[in-house]
Amino acid sequence: MTVKRRKYGTGHAYYVDEVKVPGVTTIIGDTTPKDGLTDWAARSAADYCIDNWDELLAMRPSERHKALHFAYRQDRDKAGRRGTEVHRIAEHLVAFEEVAKPEELAGHIDSYVAFLDAMNPEPVAVELVVVNRTLRYCGTADLVCDLGEVMAEEVIPPGRWLLDLKTARSGIFGETALQVCGYARAEAYLDPETGEERDMADLKIEHCGAVHITADGWELHPLDTGEATWEHFRHLRWIYDRLPEMRATVGPAVAVPIPA
């Protein structure tokens, strides 16, 4: 009976008893509509056009089309690299370890340090791998920590928190509540020191939230991970298993003649 998180290039995959299972973010990403991405992709192309006007004019029409068509990928990949690096550095900072400060991430790092100074979290676990064998999924929670009475209790109550770090410029999306709910509702976690499975209840998590880290500051957002959110996530997990069948039933469009 084993749970493993294996790295593959810049990504990773989870295996439970040598059988691959989806991660929390994969479940949510593959089953949740991405209406906002359409607007974002269009804005990426428009921004690229404005910022690179002279270069585009010098291109052949086909090259110009390709550059604009794939402009969103540059924005996406840059944001992904930024998020990955901020997470890596944050893992060291919360453990009070010294880290180099890349110039392009100086603002994000300063913001995370400001969060640590203001909230003074006492880390319980960092990059915590969790598993739910009943629903067959895994995930990695960014931070489990204890927060004291440093802010108004009705806003940020003291206690043990499961927190996810987000660096998107647009803020915290509603899907984040589903994400941290999936983590918090796992059945077990891997002990960071021994790698053995422990009962998730042993962590005694009381609250869940997300820390939005930008170059200009930070915000801690409590998130609702109650029964309604948990039911929503379970439904997405059910849909995820049925995606191959659903996609197989969607064939090419058939033209139906309209009666005169």
Tell me: the pLDDT tens digits for 167-210?
A: 887 778 889 999 999 999 999 999 988 889 999 999 999 999 99
> Does residue 65 belong to any structural domain of this protein?
no
Tell me: the pLDDT tens digits for 62-77?
A: 888 887 787 767 766 6
Nearest CA to 27 among 245, 249, 239, 174?
239
> Does residue 46 belong to any structural domain of this protein?
no
- Whole-number average pLDDT of the chain: 85
pLDDT for residue 255: 52
pLDDT for residue 28: 95
* Domain containing residue 25: 3-31+70-247
> Does residue 40 belong to any structural domain of this protein?
no
The number of distinct structural domains making up the chain is: 1
Handedness of CA 241, 244, 249, 252 (dihedral sign): positive
184 φψ region: left (φ > 0), alpha (ψ -120 to 50), beta (else)? alpha
pLDDT for residue 186: 97
> Does residue 54 belong to any structural domain of this protein?
no
pLDDT for residue 43: 77
Lowest-pLDDT choice from 33-42, 155-164, 211-220: 33-42
Tell me: the pLDDT tens digits for 74-120?
A: 766 666 666 677 767 777 777 777 777 788 888 888 998 999 988 99
- Rounded Cα distance between 51 and 47, Å, is 6
Question: What average pLDDT does this structure show over 224-246?
Answer: 94
> Does residue 227 belong to any structural domain of this protein?
yes
pLDDT for residue 179: 97
Angstrom distances, CA of residue 76 to CA of 44, 71, 112, 171, 212: 9, 9, 22, 15, 18
Q: Comparing 191 with 46, which gets the higher pLDDT?
A: 191
> Does residue 233 belong to any structural domain of this protein?
yes
> Does residue 76 belong to any structural domain of this protein?
yes
> Does residue 255 belong to any structural domain of this protein?
no
